[in-house]
Structure 1
Amino acid sequence: MNPAVWVERHGRRRPGDAALAEGEGVYATWAQWAERTARLAGGLREELGLKPGDRLAIVMRNRPQYLEALYAAWHAGLVAVPVNARLHRDEIAYVLEHSGTRVAVTDDDHADDVESLLGRVASLEAVVVAPGERWQRLGGAEPVPVADLAPSDPAWLFYTSGTTGRPKGATLTARNLLTASLSYFADIDPVAATDAMLHAAPLSHGSGLYGLPHVAKGAVSVLPESGGVDGAEIATLLRRWPGTSMFAAPTMVKRLTADPAVVGAAEHLKTIVYGGAPMYLADLEEALAVFGPRLAQIYGQGETPMTITGLSKADHAERDHPRWHERVQSVGFPRTDVEVAVVDADDRPVPVGETGEVLVRGDVVMAGYWDQPDATAETLRGGWLHTGDLGAFDDDGFLTLKDRSKDLIISGGMNIYPREVEEALLHHPGVRAVAVVGRPDPQWGETVVAFVVPDDEAAAPTPEDLDRTCLERIARYKRPKDYRVVPALPTNNYGKVLKRELRQQLAADAGSA
């Protein structure tokens, strides 16, 4: 199933209805988008000489032309390579080189960086700026039929965020994208043609993936004119476009929760799907107080894509359940389309309540990593995707993540999961953010170090205060042996804390001592 078929079908069935919106205005009806997609696909095939299976990269901020390029690529039978536009030029170069991209579509904001890669990236033959004269010319080409995509054909190269090194390109097939879309309907939310999908988060990742089921059902795709997260603008768009859903990272949910304009328009919101990083309990309770039962959580990875477990809106709303607090701190129940297991180091299932690595298999799991057979074999060994995440099932089948396996701290032979230490420290009213890592120790193996961002640097909590907060909630052996007060935590372009950099900082400090 080629996702471009959805645009073509709605173009025939609902030609005059809004399909793409830029801010409050309609950018294109379904008939206009369908024709534009077919003509752009023709231009990509005829003028630029692209063939089915060739890679086309998209490097731009969220805007209507992004979705035009994405669906035109699929219409032409190409493999889309959505690239995080916030990456450094050298990081963009790596993705284009590794994927063998022949053509990149970009915008004025990123044109200088991307055009500078012509001649540097061996495979790159052309850069098209959209909107722009060449983009318009491509859109005036003769339309071509939607290309056939076999279920196993690559459709999207999803480059991971690269927190531990060079990003890998998860090869998502047509089957993967269809399965992920159907899973959304099964477990997250029904979608109607009268609904809208607001793309405030990057289209290159979660928001783009969750846009798929909305396009499939004919909902309007709304692109903020700001290209990002602006509370006043989002509030206006919620009132303009009824039935609006959006994908958001937990940090974004926290920001929206604190924005008076968004709070005032919360009644117009249909659903916030959040995921991609831990949502701490205090932040979640505050968000539920503001938005009510409109939150759904997903746990997934680019390799799955975004489909392993889910915590539904009903789960969030079931406050009278005796284990509600435990459940909302979990990542939910296995999704309809997958099998999920928790295993030991030998890939043997562990008993309920015990921690192990989370494995998943099903039609949503990637075909493998692009041009990296060894990494593919290691990650997909035994027919299961090895996520690298540590978790445990409870008696009801809800999965709680403990940490990434690489972040586990072993001190004196005891396993310490950084997240539970972070949760404890966040109860201190003077702590805005915290990240916990392990530091090598000759006696204990590792000791616990907490990097703390205070609400007020001039009145930062003392180590004694933080110790008391920990000891009220966790075992003594888990409390940090060292507290580092910092103005901010290092993060990547998706807001994930780079614990690798914190460990490197500790190593550098030890080397200079």
Structure 2
Amino acid sequence: MNLASWILRNGRRFGDRPALAHGRDVRATWAGFAEQVAAVAAALRQVHGLVPGDRVALVMSNRPEYLIAQFGAWHAGLVAVPVNARLHREEIAYIVDDAGARLVVTDAEHADDVAPLVHDVASLEAVLIAPGPAWEALTAHAPMPMTERAGDDPAWLFYTSGTTGRPKGATLTHRNLLMCAMSYFADIDAIGPDQGVLHAAPLSHGSGLYGLPHVARGAVSVFPRDGVDGPELLDLLDAWPGLSFFAAPIMVKRLAADPALVAVGPEGLGGLATIIYGGAPMYLTDLEAALAVFGPRLAQIYGQGETPMTITGLSRADHADVAHPRWRERMASVGFPRTDVEVRVVDDDGVELPPGEPGEILVRGDVVMAGYWNRPEASAETLREGWLHTGDIGSMDEDGFLTLRDRSKDLIISGGMNIYPREVEEALLHHPGVAAVAVVGRPDAEWGESVVAFVVPADADAPPSHADLDETCLARIARFKRPREYHLLDALPTNSYGKVLKRELRTRLG
């Protein structure tokens, strides 16, 4: 069970069809993609001496060479370690070292940060720059047959975003990634070879995972010329109709406000298949704005790197079902359990809770990681009795829709009462003067914790008053949940995937 078999099959079946594109330009047909993958695999094994199970790190911007390197590593029986190229060089060094990577493939943009790691990381033997002379030599090498791999063999070390402490490498096997792709077909989109996937988000995380089912079906992988804005998206949809892409909610919000997309509206976006969003909260007000621009072409996923983006989901049909009496409530949820997993909500003793009661979210299925790379204690703590303990707090309704409350570490307990930051954030976002908000807890000698809101005003010259914000909260949530303090910011601190770094906000409070 080697995922690289998809490339070989598509090379035979769709040989002359486009496989990789940069903007409107075709960079490789499926036959050419398959040939380069087999050549890279041979060079990695025969020239660089790598053996099955060795790790190859990828530190690159989104580009066609990225997928050639990733599938080339799999073809050779190696383990890919996609690294977020936006990380600091010390963070990149940590991941390369922790994975024990023997080789890194990078690009000219990141070579200055990555090339010195040959001297700093004990396991690392070579850094290849793609494109470049060394890369051209790899792709020109005589191809080799694909290496057989078992379903339980590691394929991808998915390093967590590291919002708290050092990131851990979730070991995703070939079976895990196969199930991730199959679940996409079952719950999100059937996909056909006449469709495509736009890599607008980092390939090291969501876009890479949601690219897999598109590769499996022979769809074209499209790389934007620059960052994706409204005019660029419209041009790519014209060139590649049937295009889908993954985006963090912050990107969906930005695109929904792009004048070029607002001007054409849903009727002018006929070439758009699906926008898959996830990885951070999508607030209901932002979702309604996005639906007004894109129409019912959105699908939400809830997942983690440990169960590659596959726990629950809201389908396009769910988004379109506006006549349902609980439509708004469902849109504020993270959806229904996906086809290939079981999901439970439990109390501190592991007892399953009734509908409406919040508790920790547990998941099990063949998509769940094998464990954390070289961290047996952390693996044992997270994977208990066959269930992945997500650390997320949520509740199920009577129809089986899961509402995500917060990470367990973000839960605020004030005066013995549980307060979920997300519901306070949702309330504050109803104020027209609030562009963005994040809520955290501050230690409080009397109450245990008090609620603090960091607010980005829509108009910096006319920010909402504390009294106005209080009034907005009190119209929607219980008095004890309203913030005791409001702090105005120009922008919320986020990581490169758009997740708000609440740890930094707590640090600001002292």
Q: TM-score, normalised by structure 1?
A: 0.98
Distance 1:262 1:232 in 2: 8
* Cα distance between partner residues in 1 of 2:495 and 2:243: 28
Residue of structure 1 in register with 2:280 after alignment: 277
How far is 1:33 from its partner? 0.6
Partners of 2:99 and 2:169 within 8 A in 1: yes
Deviation at 1:197, TM superposition (A): 0.5
- Counterparts of 1:268 and 1:11 in 2: how far apart (Å)? 25
* Alpha-carbon offset, residue 164 of structure 1: 0.8
- Report deviation, 1:383: 1.2
SS of the aligned residue for 2:348 comes to coil
What is the alpha-carbon distance in structure 1 between the residues aligned to residue 261 and residue 8 of structure 2? 34
Residue equivalent to 1:200: 200
Aligned counterparts of 2:52 and 2:229: Cα–Cα separation in 1 = 38
Cα gap change, 1:51 to 1:262, in 2 (>3 Å): farther
What corresponds to 2:242 in structure 1? 243
Contact 1:171/1:369 (8 A) holds in 2? yes
Measured after TM superposition, the shift of residue 81 of structure 1 is: 0.2
SS for the counterpart of 1:371 is coil
Q: Give yes or no for contact 1:63–1:225 (8 Å, CA) kept in 2.
A: no
* SS of corresponding position for 1:457: coil
| Cα deviation digits, residues 384-407 of structure 1 (max 9, x gap) | 100010000000000000000000
Is the 8 Å Cα contact of residues 266 and 290 (structure 1) preserved in structure 2?
no
For 2:254 and 2:238, how far apart are their aligned partners in 1? Answer: 19
Distance 1:191 1:482 in 2: 48
- What is the one-letter code of the residue matched to 2:160? T
Deviations 1:336-361 (A, max 9, x none): 10000000011111111100000000
Contact 1:280 1:329 in 2 (8 A): yes
CA distance in 2 between counterparts of 1:488 and 1:269 reads 30
Shift of the alpha carbon at 1:229? 2.4
What residue number does 2:15 align with? 15
Is residue 261–residue 293 contact of structure 2 (8 Å, CA) maintained in 1?
A: no
What aligned pairs does 1:30-429 form with structure 2 within 5 A after superposition?
Answer: 30-226=30-226, 228-263=227-262, 264=264, 265-429=268-432
- Secondary structure of the 1:305 match is strand
Instruction: Give the counterpart of 2:433 among 430, 433, 444.
Output: 430
Q: Which AA in structure 2 matches 1:20?
A: L
Q: By how many angstroms is 1:231 displaced? A: 2.8
Give the aligned CA root-mean-square deviation in angstroms. Answer: 0.8
In structure 1, distance between residues paired with 2:136 and 2:326: 56
Segments of structure 1 that go 5 or more residues without pairing to the other structure are 508-513
> Partner residue of 1:511?
none
Q: Is the 8 A contact 1:193 1:219 kept in 2?
A: yes
Counterpart code for 2:208: G
| CA shift for structure 1 position 230 | 3.1
Counting matched residue pairs gives 506
SS at match of 1:192: coil
Aligned equivalents of 1:241, 1:189: Cα separation in 2: 17
Aligned mates of 2:461, 2:29 — CA distance in 1: 54
Q: Distance in 1 between matches of 2:469 and 2:241?
A: 45
State the Cα distance separating 1:82 from its structure 2 match. 0.3
Q: Give the AA of the match of 2:261.
A: V
C-alpha displacement of 1:273: 0.5
CA deviation map 1:267-319 (0-9, x unaligned): 22010010001100111001111111100000000000000001000000000
The answer to whether the 8 Å contact 1:201/1:229 transfers is no
Which consecutive residues of structure 2, in runs of 5 or more, have no partner in the other structure? none
Alpha-carbon separation, structure 2, partners of 1:246 and 1:488:
26
Determine the C-alpha separation between the residues in 2 that align with 1:331 and 1:89. 34
Take 2:203 and 2:449, find their aligned partners in 1: how far apart are those partners?
39
Aligned-pair distance for 1:112?
A: 0.6
Question: How far apart, CA to CA, are the structure 2 residues paired with 1:320 and 1:69?
Answer: 47
Q: In the alignment, which residue of structure 1 is the partner of 2:450?
A: 447
1:10-40 per-position Cα deviation (integer Å, ceiling 9, x unaligned) = 1111211111111101100011011111011
AA in 2 matched with 1:190:
A
Offset at residue 240 of structure 1 (A): 0.5
Normalised by the size of structure 2, how large is the TM-score? Answer: 0.98
- The answer to whether the 8 Å contact 2:438/2:502 transfers is yes
